[in-house]
Amino acid sequence: MQRIGEEIHDATLGFATRTYPGSILDMCAAPGGFLATAVKRNPDAEAVAFSLPYSDGGYNVLLAGDKKDCVKFLDITMLAADMGVTDIPEKHPDAGKFLPRQMSVAQVFDLVICDGHVLRTHARAPYRETREPARLKTTQLALGLEHIRPGGTMIVLFHKLEYWDTVCYVRRFARFSSVQLYKPTKGHAQRSSFYMVATDVKRQDPEAILAIEIWKAVWRAATFGTDEDFAEALRKGEPSAEEVLEEFGSELVKHGRKVWETQANALARAPFIKNRDTVNFS
């Protein structure tokens, strides 16, 4: 992961904080490669990181020395107080597992890393199985954006740029930040995954405030609501395909051209492909 982090930084300068000594928030740190990259680039920065405990199916944290001291081992999808919920229903399947506030309201960071993904090794209540990707993504994005310093940078892992939900996420970020998309050649070239580096994030922009509200509402519905509540929260206020194409279609193609080209050429060179002609999307 550290090699991937270095590749992303070389292409985007995304891991450099904009202030000195800077501050870093890593929402899903283990195994720790991105956090190590960020600390290497900003050696005097304060860092706060969360990671799913190994006992719950999380990865080991491979940071050297005292760098591990900044990591809090917990399930971020259970950060109810940080997500604005303090009244937990007594009969909820996870009633005793929700966590008190971990970050103060005024705490802000120059660099926020949101690259967590759902782990098959993580044992969880049945109601969470189909909703866990949304719970994890919205927790990272809502808290990351809520606690970013105005003008800061967010690095976010996404999959399948052409997927509707991904398009909507990237479009929303483009409304209050400067967006770059990058697919590393190390470890990601053949896969659908890529990273969004959002710089100059305007945290106080009405669009950013609205995004936080929407993502928290999705988390609440996914955590406490019915299937109908969850489906409604996912689609509430969502634009039509026509609106997205008219407003963001050309920009999406511009952003995605290199991502798709990198994956297409990696697949063309893969040993399981017979015709290995590369492609050029320019």
* Cα–Cα distance list, 131 to 105, 124, 175, 179, 227 (Å): 27, 11, 27, 27, 9
Cα–Cα distance between 173 and 38 in angstroms, integer? 22
Question: Percent of the chain at pLDDT above 90?
Answer: 81
pLDDT in tens, 205-224: 999 999 999 999 999 999 99
pLDDT at residue 275, as a whole number = 63
Q: What is the mean pLDDT of the chain?
A: 93
Tokens 């759902």 belong to residue: 118
Provide mean pLDDT across the span 115-137. 92
Question: Percent of the chain at pLDDT above 70?
Answer: 95
243: in domain: no
Cα–Cα distance between 131 and 104 in angstroms, integer? 27
Domain count, the chain: 1
Domain of 172, in residue numbers: 2-238
Question: Around 106, how many Cα atoms within 13 Å sit in the side-chain half-sphere?
Answer: 0
* Cα–Cα distance list, 170 to 23, 129, 182, 254, 269 (Å): 24, 25, 12, 13, 29
State the pLDDT confidence band at 116, using cuts at 50, 70 and 90.
very high
pLDDT in tens, 161-174: 999 999 999 999 99
pLDDT at residue 276, as a whole number = 58
247: in domain: no
254: in domain: no
pLDDT at residue 277, as a whole number = 63
Give the domain CATH number at 49. 3.40.50.12760
pTM: 0.93
282: in domain: no
Cα–Cα distance between 83 and 129 in angstroms, integer? 20
Provide mean pLDDT across the span 147-152. 98
pLDDT in tens, 35-80: 999 999 999 999 999 999 998 988 888 887 677 789 999 999 999 9
Cα–Cα distance between 154 and 275 in angstroms, integer? 38
pLDDT in tens, 271-281: 776 665 666 66
69: in domain: yes
264: in domain: no
State the pLDDT confidence band at 119, using cuts at 50, 70 and 90.
confident
Kindly tell me if the per-residue pLDDT of 261 is higher than 80: yes
